[in-house]
Amino acid sequence: MANTEETVALAQVKLPVYGMTCEHCVRRVVKALEKLPGVADVQVSLADAKATFHFAPEQLDLSAVREAIEKAGYSTDIPLPATGQEEITIPVYGMTCEHCVRRVTKALEKLPGVENIRVSLADSKALFDFDRNQVSTEDITQAIEEAGYSTRPAPVEAAAEQPPPEAAGLPDPLILPETVSDNPSIDPGDHAQKKQFKVRGMTCANCALTIEKGVGKMKGVKSAAVNFASEKLTLELDPSVVSQEDILAKIKDLGYGAQSEDSEGGKQQFKVSGMTCANCALTIEKKLKSTPGVHMAAVNFANETVTVEFDPQTLTLNDVFEQVRDAGYIPLKNKDEDPDDRSAIIERNWLIFSVILSVPIMPLMFLPMSRPTMYTILTLATIVQFTAGWTFYRGAYHALKNRSANMDVLVAMGITAAYGYSLMTTLHMFFPNLFFEGPNFFDTSALLITFVRFGKYLEAKAKGRAGQALKRLLELQADKARLLINGEEKEVAAADLKTGDVVIVKPGERIPVDGEIIEGQASIDESMLTGESIPVDKGAGDPVIGATINRSGSIKVQTAKTGKDTVLSGIIKMVEDAQGVKPPIQRLADTISNYFVPAVVTLALITFLIWYFALHSTFVFAFTAAIAVLVIACPCALGLATPTAIMVGSGVGLNRGLLFKSAAVLEAISSLQAIGFDKTGTLTKGTPEVTDIIAVNPFKEKGLLQIAAAGENPSIHPLAQAVASRARKEEVEILEVKDYQEESGYGIACSYQGQPLLIGNIKHMRKHGIDVSAVEEEYTRLAQEGKTTMFVSLAGRAIGLIALADVLKESAREAIKRLHGLGLKTFMITGDNKKVAHVVGQEAGIDEIAAEVLPQDKINTVKKYQEQGLKVAMVGDGINDAPALAQADIGIAIGSGTDVAKETGDVILVRNDLLDVERAIRLGRKTLNKIKQNLFWALIYNVIGIPVAAGVLYPITGKLLPPEWAGLAMAFSSVSVVTNSLLLSGYGKKLID
């Protein structure tokens, strides 16, 4: 705060401040305002997005306040002096995140005569000043449309009922002429929402494509993407046009099962805390059974679980929980049961069933074919065919109904051919006039089903392991919390906590919510978020994050965020979204899969024709080769190649604090050629530190530091606090001073042990007539190095200099060196003067330096490198550097964990460590390399396997590949691709150094 020596009348003002997202932003705004002359009592509220303060109108104009807030990286509504421009507010629909806000802002900034742009995601509006002589509203509409958004608030029919724009006083109509969606049923003006569904029943990549095409064509669906590996469908849709029930019905019609990720199924099992006897269990049962919509309720007192069946159209799981709470008990969300684990168990059970029935067929085939033997073989094979094998018929039926073909079609054709031929030769024994004579293949069809089931079981297990990183993160969430009510502790479910609640966290317990410590001190283990194993000491006023562990000390935490708003939920959502988006390389696999099954069926037919007609082999021989071709071909491996690698790669990044917004980013980051850095707060620490202490005889450095620290300690100025901080770090005693005064623009004056002490700039010294010739040479040298220098004068004599600078982060030099080792060009963009910029850039080892660049011009520097044909990344704090981050091919936001859930950048580095930039690029390259390996092996397997199955080696070996072994080979091809992806998980250890 700037002080004045005379009393003036202060006016109070309250202003909105836009763009703040965390307490760090609040502190930036407070500091910006406190530096202004005549400003006092600054209070900034993040929740209300407002700043309140007193100021002296004689000393300060409000336009200076606006300028200070904007320099800090935020905006306000203080009117500027009239410039002939007019202010306009227009609706902008289709924005879903801060990245969208930046796109709209960037589009408007390019227009001539448009200034002071504020785009609100919450209100779906853009507010700005524009000069009608330079730009029309049609130009503005077109710019927003080209950015991919709309200004149309409603369908045309509804809009027609509204009064004309002129009547409402609007300058011009702002209606888009047509939609911008690929799906003609989607209006960009609609509020598109993202939803995820868990899909059951997919067997290969073609299943995923079938669902994508079927659901993607629905009215109201903007985009659809299916991740075959994680079995998730990610949709962008308009809920006013298409409902969740419509989506589920469509998926069912396509032949698959699905469940919304946001909803719970009709049968659930969960834990309950608080039961003390069997009567408690009966109480809960009675309460639930009397609830409308509940079909069945059973409580197991021994293991404290409740099993309940309910109508999901009438009740949600939260409603069931509310009934349990109403009965006086605490329901706990069950995190143990996992759909992937259930899928693996189901596949295992079918495998055991198939083995039990199919294995006895093999020895029976070598016995004389008496009627009892044939009856036994036929019975066993038929049971396997139409129980364990029924899933292939069902999948093939739905695939063909939807005019597509998948792995089920190939397997169904293979097992039907083997079983059908065998059935006819068997019936020949009973009806010789109706059927033909020949060997049977009952063992082939039964073992083929068994081997394919075995492959499906291994695949389900492997796919479950591919998503382990995300599952482990979900399991970290605390179940219970100690809620403080009127001074008393009460154990409640963590899910029941609300913003403002105060919880007690004792040593060894997980912190249940995001919040702020209001009492106590503790060492917090944040390794789940940052990867750092060393606990962080925190006290009153410090933020804490849910799921981190209190290692020592009891603390009281006030809840700030709960549920889906927490940092952990934000990370989980981000990773799920990343895994739900297809990278460009997946298009190759999708294209191949579209033609794969028809090509294989054609090859099987050609194989039969060549062997039977051209080479005059027996029917059985040609038939066997054709079946082997059908069952050895595997589109599954192609479908799993990319998503499994993406799942494992994003999981490795998650464990190291590297969060990728989408799979496409994980691929694109591997091809970067140039990378730019913001200076302040990115390459440097963002706060000044003492770098040089120059003492004049007879004073020593430590003595000078003690005197300077005493004088600077009362001030809240960042430079003053840096000096005091250095003294405390060196354990120098800081003495009290008297008659302390701050002289704005000069420095401070006070009395130190009865002698006048002055600390400040050279103007301060000259104002008080202090001779600085003894330190002038050193002052010149330090100034040339771009450092801020303080003169220290005691008793009318200059006794030394203290130089300060925003120093490089410890990891900056090593990070730049490693990036050069990866073959990347580096550059720095800063608004600082050229002298300071070049000192920092040269110290870090940066290739090229752009200094004195205004925030709005940083984007042009990024464009300059892009125009050279380079793929460019930009590293910044995600707030002030937003335009440059949006312009870059990859925007990398680096900062603390509390900022992780923000919509900034394409990659978020949780830890404030520049080495993570290089690690993220290495991980991206390794993941892309793994995808290419998977695609290669998936393709080469089919390229080699199909000819072998067709019998190209028969002239050399004298044997055909039996169909059952071809089926086993097909199963293992998928497993090998998933296993190869899992090998990527070991790469996390190489990211530690």
- The pairs formed by 888-897 with CB atoms below 8 angstroms and a separation of 24 or more are 888/676, 888/862, 889/668, 889/672, 890/665, 890/668, 890/669, 890/672, 892/917, 892/920, 894/682, 896/24, 897/526, 897/529, 897/530, 897/545, 897/567, 897/657
| Among candidate residues 341, 337, 457, the one with its CA nearest the CA of residue 388 | 457
What amino acid is encoded at 185 in this protein? S
Pairing status of strand 480-485 against strand 502-505: antiparallel
Phi (first) and psi of residue 260, to 5 degrees: -65, 140
Cα 714 to Cα 687, 729, 753, 765: the distances in Å are 18, 17, 16, 20
- Helix count and strand count (H, E) for the chain: 33, 37
Are the C-beta atoms of 413 and 630 separated by less than 8 Å? yes
SS (H, E, C) 346-412: HHHHHHHHHHHHHCCHHHHCCCCCCHHHHHHHHHHHHHHHHCCCHHHHHHHHHHHHCCCCCHHHHHH
Instruction: Please name the residue that has the structure tokens 């680096």.
Output: 894
R_g (Cα) of the chain, nearest Å = 35
What the block records as the tokens of 509 is: 């317990």
Contact between 878 and 679 under an 8 Å Cβ cutoff? The reply is no
**By C-alpha distance, which of 232, 195, 180 is closest to 211?**
232
Instruction: Please tell me the distance from the alpha carbon of residue 340 to that of residue 914, in angstroms, as a whole number.
Output: 36
In this structure, what token pair is assigned to residue 170? 């609007």
Is position 678 annotated as part of the catalytic site? yes
Catalytic residue, from 187, 678, 806, 913: name it. 678
Parallel/antiparallel/unpaired status of strands 11-18 and 75-76: antiparallel
Q: How many CB atoms within 10 Å of residue 660?
A: 30
For the chain, the distance separating the N- and C-terminal CA atoms, rounded to the nearest angstrom, is: 44
* Strand intervals (E) in 314-355: 330-332
Biggest CA-to-CA distance, the chain:
127
**Residue 314: count of CB within 10 angstroms of its CB:** 12
Active centre residues (catalytic):
678
